[in-house]
């Protein structure tokens, strides 16, 4: 199947040196996870779509950022010129090495050495993205096209004055990262299963979607945000009774997207 699924924020293996350095306990850090998302889509390889997932937590290294998106306030020394220290994510404390956890709580009470950040980037961030690129390239070589589905979860609460979040948000960077026909198919399959779906609001797609999505080259990237209230108790972090039903719905989505991608690949072959 010409799909690759990714779950970059569902890791729960907390390195001992990270836990020793943080001022927070593991339960506080867990609020930043997309917990269980990797399990919700674990059936994708049985359908022929490989799945890559991070084992380490987002609060340790955030894979949905640029490699050197870092906050100077976190370090005990000036950062090199190649570091992107002025992005909106950095300003919010959410660079590739996050400064804050969910709720804006500071993760560290001591400054970090830049060399330690480099170790995390070279040892965790770069291998993940190298493996993801390899999966995408292999899929394009085999099928002539690839859809990367970047899987995330979102909290069920909403700020005052905003509508209740939908079940799913589909992010295609406002039609820049994915062919409209693919997004329309994803929306159709989810709507037919009774879910409320939004596009690009409030999540249009992060670094992964922007970086890998190049529809003119046959690589499409779609970010999917899943409302956590559908499958987990957000306070106790346990699975809800609807977990298996949601996983089955997601596999129906994967299967339908695979068919749609096959159709697009066949159309492209005919045009050539």
DSSP state of 124: I
Give the whole-angstrom CA distance, residue 144 versus residue 220.
12
Tens of pLDDT, residue by residue over 247-258, are 999 999 999 999
Whether 106 is covered by a domain: the verdict is no
Q: Residue 265 has what pLDDT?
A: 80
Whether 93 is covered by a domain: the verdict is no
Residue 210 sits in which domain range?
A: 3-61+127-271
Whether 260 is covered by a domain: the verdict is yes
Sheet with strand 51-53: strands edge to edge: 51-53, 3-7, 146-154, 219-227, 168-171, 197-199
Whether 80 is covered by a domain: the verdict is no
DSSP state of 72: G
Residue 162: CA atoms inside 13 Å, Cβ hemisphere, count?
10
Tens of pLDDT, residue by residue over 158-217, are 655 567 889 999 999 999 999 999 999 999 999 999 999 999 999 999 999 999 999 999
CATH number at residue 247: 3.40.630.40
Number of domains in the chain: 1
Evaluate whether 10 touches 38 at the Cβ level (below 8 Å). Answer: yes
Tens of pLDDT, residue by residue over 147-174, are 999 999 999 986 555 678 899 999 999 9
Give residue 269's pLDDT band: very low, low, confident or very high (50, 70, 90): confident
Q: Residue 272 has what pLDDT?
A: 66
Whether 253 is covered by a domain: the verdict is yes
Whether 67 is covered by a domain: the verdict is no
Whether 250 is covered by a domain: the verdict is yes
């Amino acid at each position: 199947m010409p799909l690759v699924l990714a779950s970059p924020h569902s890791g729960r293996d907390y390195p001992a040196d990270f836990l020793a350095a943080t001022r927070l306990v593991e339960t506080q850090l867990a609020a930043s996870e997309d917990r269980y998302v990797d399990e919700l889509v674990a059936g994708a390889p049985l359908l022929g779509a490989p799945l890559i997932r991070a084992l380490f937590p987002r609060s340790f290294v955030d894979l949905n950022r640029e490699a050197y998106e870092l906050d100077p306030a976190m370090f005990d020394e000036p950062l090199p010129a190649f570091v992107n220290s002025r992005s909106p994510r950095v300003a919010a404390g959410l660079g590739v090495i996050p400064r804050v956890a969910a709720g804006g709580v500071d993760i560290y009470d001591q400054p970090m050495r830049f060399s330690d950040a480099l170790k995390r980037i070279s040892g965790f961030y770069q291998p993940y993205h190298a493996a993801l690129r390899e999966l995408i390239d292999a899929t394009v070589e085999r099928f002539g096209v690839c859809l990367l589905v970047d899987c995330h979860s979102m909290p069920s609460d909403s700020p005052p004055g905003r509508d209740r979040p939908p079940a799913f948000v589909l992010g295609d960077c406002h039609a820049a990262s994915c062919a409209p026909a693919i997004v329309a198919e994803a929306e159709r399959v989810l709507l037919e299963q009774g879910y409320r779906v939004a596009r690009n609001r409030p999540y249009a797609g992060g670094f992964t979607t922007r970086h890998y999505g190049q529809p003119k080259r046959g690589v499409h990237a779609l970010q999917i945000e899943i409302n956590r209230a559908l499958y987990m108790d957000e306070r106790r972090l346990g699975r809800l009774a609807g977990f298996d039903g949601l996983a089955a719905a997601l596999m129906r989505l994967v299967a339908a997207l695979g068919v749609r991608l096959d159709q697009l690949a066949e159309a492209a072959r005919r045009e050539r």
